[in-house]
Structure 1
Amino acid sequence: MREGGGRVQQGRRDSRFGRLLRHGFTDPATAERLLDLPALSAVRGDPMLLDALGATADPDLALRQLVRLVESLSDHERPGGDPAGGPQELLGTLIGAKPLRDRLLRVLGASEALGDHLVRHPLDWHDLATYESADLHPGVEEFTRCLDDAHDADTLRAAYRRCLLSIAARDVCGTIDLAAAATELADLATATLRAALRIAGDAAPEDTARCRLAVIAMGKCGGHELNYVSDVDVIFVAEPVAEPVDGTEEAEAMRAATRLASHLMRLCSDTTAEGTIWPVDANLRPEGRNGPLVRTLSSHLAYYERWAKTWEFQALLKARPVAGDEALGRAYADAVAPLVWQAAERENFVADVQQMRRRVVENIPAAQIDRELKLGPGGLRDVEFAVQLLQLVHGRADAGLRSGSTLDALAALAAGGYVGRKDAAALDEAYRFLRSMEHRIQLYKLRRTHLVPEGEADLRRIARSLATAYRWDRGEDPVTRLRKEWRRHAREVRRLHEKLFYRPLLDAVAQLEPGAVRLSPKAAGQRLEALGYADPAAALRHLEALASGVTRKAAIQRTLLPVLLEWFADSADPDAGLLNFRKVSDALGTTPWYLRLLRDEGAAAENLARVLSGGRLAPDLLMRAPEAVALLGDPGGLRPRDRAHLEQEVLAAVGRAEGPEQAVAAARGVRRREMFRTAAADLISTYGTEETPAEEDFGPRVDRVGTALSDLTAATVSGALRAAVRAGFGDTLPTRFAVIGMGRFGGAELGYASDADVLFVHEPREGVDEQQAARAAFAVANEMRRLLELPSADPPLLVDADLRPEGKTGPLVRTLTSYAAYYRRWSQVWESQALLRARPVAGDPGLGRRFVELIDPLRYPEGGLDEAAAREIRRLKARMESERMPRGTDPTTHAKLGRGGLSDVEWTVQLLQLRHAHAEPSLRTTGTREALFAARDAGLLDPHDARTLDEAWLLATRMRNAVMLVRGRPGDTFPADVRERAAVGRYLGYELGSAGEMLDDYRRVTRRARTVVERLFYDAES
């Protein structure tokens, strides 16, 4: 029997041991021992006790501290001299009152420090038993009443901890959320500062009689978002009670106020037998720790107006009077508030705030940066700095943003359209989670720390504490879930911090004049006129249409428009920029991503402003495909796509089309978007450069445009070729077919208005009759040209085949053999010159290579060019200049045929190629600049001459591109219209009003180039 009873008893022990493990105990043996202590006999049989302990952050800690509390109550004598009946009362209440059981045990399981307090003051457990739902949100008044009996440092600490108990209980039980807990902690701090000032005043009534002292809370206390343990940042401001007569009264008052302030700080900060409350930190005062602890209001204002740094105004954003003289505190707050909301107008304000945040991160020890919950990347400071920067920039005009609370300010920023709803929600969620982690870490020992602990037990306690609040799956390891959630929120915070904190729009808004952020209609009209808008009344109508109303779209527009108006004003035609912006906004107004893109993504808003006010071509392209706005927000969106990707996309679109017309429309759609991409990148790159046109190397930009447009044209021609073949012959044409690019197309130097000069060549497939092949090739070439010349609102793409043998009178398409026969018998020198720029651009690549092999001996003749041929080239050029120059045109400003223009430079370079390319392989290129530099490097051209010719060619090319971008139609001369000419000047890098300087520079550059051309091209001995 004894043996059987032992087995039963052992079975019961095993059963309880297993239950303890299932309830989260990590040391079940010790837990069993504690549960068997006589002190817990009254609750040992309660089946709910283990459940309640298992719901705590640390069941082992909760049980240990419960035993300590019960034992402390046993040693305590209740008021009136009765023996301590406390243990029975407590344990009886634990059995009968689930709310108390949950509150008490969860506090004991989350905070060792509060458990220590209860052991020292065991009767304080009653404070957890008495509050009901109606008393869940005490404020400053309630906390002040709780602290009324405090008369020295120890009694103040004890009373403070008693209040802290109730806050912690509501927090860990989930009765209040993070924001409410932080607010209550700030209210308790306010009441504590008031009690400390009262105690200090009672100890020195003569000092109280001499001065009026106000305590201004800063930082988290000022923002109603305090931690469990945090420095309470304050600023002290004081005034004499009596009106100063000779300065003595003020000096005495400042000394008295300093003694009171110092005593207040000691009462809160010093460590006594009851521990400490929190440090009171006055280092945010003027001059920091080197400045006087207390100043008069006028002294504060004098400092802020003359000496304060940017970060000091950022700190004042949360300033709030909390203790002492109420009128003086309000006067201080009223006086500094305007300074806070003017801070964004300081020079380099945004950059200063950004640099300050970077310095904080740089100063974190490397070993701690991954554990730093507050200061590290993705930490709380990232949220706070981003929110505060947005507040300070936009709060100048929007008083609804002027909150000291991070979460309230974030909500206001989202409501006002300054931050996207999803971004704000993600930041709110992350901030609450990270602050909750911080609270749980600090609550354990009531120590000021922001480092996530490394120990498994500490992480487990934190994770279990959060698991209830966030309703994590009970089957999941809480530590694993904690790490995953922490890292997820930190990544999201860092991403959004980078997005919001370094938003280019912020700096632009900050640089606006104060009155430009929000204007009345009358003031707006005057400002528009001052900015250079020719029709302020029309501009006001556009603004009204865009920004009126209470919709979120209108709110975001009101944020964007003050900056956009400034950027439009930097162009030659601000009115056109604003009108175009309204058109794009009307077209995309219901698209959710459009305004969000302009507000949030990189330099999208400024890029759009530059594009819309830079001329007609890019806006016209955008109106036809407004979704292309998205390219302006993508960091890589303005980089041109290479030919292989373009051709792949075009051919895929053509393959999906139902007929040839639809196929070419699809190819045109790609061309439209890609031409916009190129034009947008080109326009955007023209702004903000400090170099003059003569000093900046524009070569890479011009080359990029020429290559991008040439690749795009080649892809479009390939698409038209595929469409033409499919329309008449299905998948296989009975003859191989290739398109050879000529002129600027062959040289990959197309401009926005250039035609596509081509030759068509074919070669019958094996077994195909030559006449059948010729008919097929002719049909395809004609269909290609027809399709590409169909009426369209897009910029035209004219395929010109007039450089073929016999010109317009010759066959449109020839076989390779026919070309060989013609060139062998009939070729003229101008054709050899034209073939210098021939390269395959579409169709059969093998046939294209064989065509190049055929013409190489012709364009790179062995022995060079004889003098008779050189004279013929000179004659042809002179004839072209005299016959093709439009009547009445100024020859000094015609980009193509004028003095020192494109024709001068290109013919000079081509003459060098014809003479020397056979012996100098580096000259065998279709590109003008590449051949020019090859001639220089080969010693055939003086470097100074090469530089002079290159400068003129680049300037003439850019001028032609500018005219097309500005006017939306081609032109080889500067526009006569004043605004159009000014817009061309802005593209070329000149400030508004510098049209005369632009023309002088153009004539000077091209005159120098003409001098070189006359020496190298026209000199018979050269």
Structure 2
Amino acid sequence: MRLPLPCQLPAVLQPLTLRNQQFLHEAVAAHPELDLGSWSEWHARQFDQVAAVSDFVLTQVQRDPGLLCGLMRSGELERSYGPGELRGHVAKVAQAAQSEDELARNLRRERNRQQVRIIWRDITRQADLGETCRDLSDLADAAIDEAYQWLYPRHCQQFGTPIGNRSGHPQHMVVLGMGKLGARELNLSSDIDLIFAFPEGGETEGVKRSLDNQEFFTRLGQRLIKALDPVTVDGFVFRVDMRLRPYGSSGALVLSFNALEQYYQDQGRDWERYAMIKARVVAGDQAAGAQLQDMLRPFVYRRYLDFSAIEALRTMKQLIQQEVRRKGMADNIKLGAGGIREVEFIAQAFQLIHGGRDLSLQQRPLLKVLATLEGQGYLPPAVVTELREGYAFLRYTEHAIQAIADRQTQMLPENETDQARVAYMLGYADWQAFDAQLGQWRERIDWHFRQVIADPDEDESESELVVGGEWSPLWEQAQDEEAAGRQLEEAGFKLPGEALRRLAALRASPQLRSMQRLGRERLDAFIPRLLAQAVEHENPDLVLERVLPLVEAVARRSAYLVLLTENPGALRRLLTLCAASPWIAEQIARYPLLLDELLNEGRLFSPPLAPELASELRERLTRIPEDDLEQQMEALRHFKLAHSLRVAASEISGNLPLMKVSDYLTWLAEAILDQVLALAWRQTVARHGQPMGSDGIPCDPGFVIIGYGKVGGLETGHGSDLDLVFIHDGDPQAETDGAKPIDGAQFFTRLGQRIIHLLTTQTNSGQLYDVDMRLRPSGAAGLLVSSLGAFERYQQSEAWTWEHQALVRARVLVGCPRVGQAFERVRAQVLGQPRDLEKLRIEVSEMRAKMRASLGTKATVAGTAPNAFEPGMPFDIKQDAGGIVDIEFMVQYAALAWSHEHTGLVRWTDNIRILEELEQVGLMPAADAVLLREVYKAFRAASHRQALQKQAGVIDAAQFADERRQVRRIWSELGLS
């Protein structure tokens, strides 16, 4: 605790009293109305004390001498405020404002007035630690809420009143105060950590041009921050820090309750649990805020005894310790050893471990938590007493440091004057006596911290080692360029100068220049670890080239850097995958949420089978309200991105062979299409009602999605688009049974349009798939959705041979089983009809020739010229002669030529099983069938490798030369030209 003020100021501060007296004489001369004569000797002595140690108080009184006189006359310096009194002062000045500029000015001036009062009472021992923290927190609560209440009606007048989709009621924002504000423990120069939320999606009403609720509250949040944060001639109200919100500085400023809940369920980190312990509704809708906190409580407090929290807090503390050592912050009474943060960690470790079961631990103020730990027997009374008294001493010291100049710092001063000020405010005659007492308290706190948090198996000497610490000087440019280049070269970099250039470009990037302090500190902790792991790879230059763009992309979402810093295994997997595939590196850089997938090695390299895929996606979407289309679309895209990465990682690691890769990617597309169809159906029916089927019974859904090409042939690759055809079995003339009826033809057209919209719309997470609908009857000129009867008529009487070739690889992906079975019957009938073989050969050959001419390699005449096999010449794996399309055309020709005799040829849609069928029925020699299957798989594997390397499907002509010749031989033996 702190001692009474010494009777006399230290010698180094006594000249300041002359400065103070000079100011008073000048103030009286300039402002005769000031009644300084009414000051008591006691007031005068207090002014000497306070003004000598607090430049901030003196500056405020110099700017407005009447401020102090008013406080004295009102008696506010001599008494504690009653309940609601401080709020009343803030409300009065806020409500008097006629403009936003005046609101900002009034709030700043009232803040300065209250700050003078609070510092005065703190220094003169009229307020204890509890009152000081409470007044500061009440001031923040009042400033935030009064500013919000002033801004909200004016914002509604401009943009309309936000109405919830589900409730139909007007919406208010909820402002969560985090950290010290949430616990009502603000210090004299705290910033305020806030999270903004609103109950539900919807739109504003009452204006011509409505906004959705997200945009409404985002703009309102920006105005609220502007009212509080910027520094003007009147100072600031509170520094506002929004980085604790989901995704940090790069995340949405305001999120709906559902979006917040889903984020914390799916992506919430241990440090976010730690932060959320102290969350409190400080402004806005208190009732809705209570509901939000109930929603988030399971994320913070687990129902089981969560001993993993110890390790999470230990990791966080190690990161802090590294930063303290690196930046020379041992004199930081918050972050340094035995500092304020260690007391907080002790209390919160017990809260995180036991709070789910012991509800008495679910509270915010630290001193109350310590009392509960003692009362419930978690800690011995003697330990709690030391922690409580040591914490109070540190907080009083923190206030003393910040009272000097209203600066947000916890660093012990280095100059003699400020050291004397701090010692005096704590009741010590000199710095040496104060520093000795501070050292004792920090030593005791650090000892207790180690008993609770420290790893019992950790070697004390090892604990001082900083992972990647040998690279910190290079990253921080603490060594000359020659020494840095030599270090890189000795570590295995082939082009050290280029590596230095890349690191310098990262340092100079706009993303890093705009980073907040915490984010930059996280980056500074991460880069040395990245370099330490990069040099373990065979080609560290390549690793750095591919990973640094990702680092730049996520720099302002520094939680991702913490993720990789805290999880060396995830960082190792990231570097391995990026070194192996620039496609993966680019995907993760574009969509950093994929970094989550790297945390679980077993999950990353073991993608689920089709039933588990479908079930997982269904479960994800079930948690989202049916009317929240934005979240549904994001969930679908997150799902696709995550599982696409898992498949690519499994392919690169050798866990999945080619055929399984295609299977998984195809299953993924089917699972997504199934849910997209369900969403589109639900939305279209909600608007227009159900359509009637051809049998007069309402459809449910009477609709199928047919997959052609790669997805139809179970050969989906990385980045494949979807060739789709939509077929329905409804009555095109009958109207739907909804409030806005339309005929069946229109209904299914709108359903198809909705499906394409859901699949192709670009969101923050990209689009699901490119969709190609040109294989539908009559191509781009045809109807978007065909009835089953129209499809059958077209295929029987109008379709070209190439369209029947495409039908070989067509199958039902999702939709109504009854309609799907009817489609399969139509397909079998169309493909199974007898054909003129000579005419078929000519038409297939002519179509192939056209494709080679337009799509093949010009330099080798699509692989048919004499130079087509020479080393150094290009070979298009797919389009050139002897490549993938030749094999596909042979399979399609065989299916069309002989399926009327061998129905098994149209049972399958994939080339491999059709080739197996050709071998079994004797239509192709076994050696040729085996050769085509193996060559086809080899070609596709090469295409996959090229895709993962972000390269076109073109390789050196010397590769696969013999295989291509064999494919051309079989092509000729089938009579194709």
TM-score (norm. length: structure 1): 0.42
Mark the structure with the bigger radius of gyration: 1
Q: Could you tell me the TM-score, scaled by structure 2's length?
A: 0.44
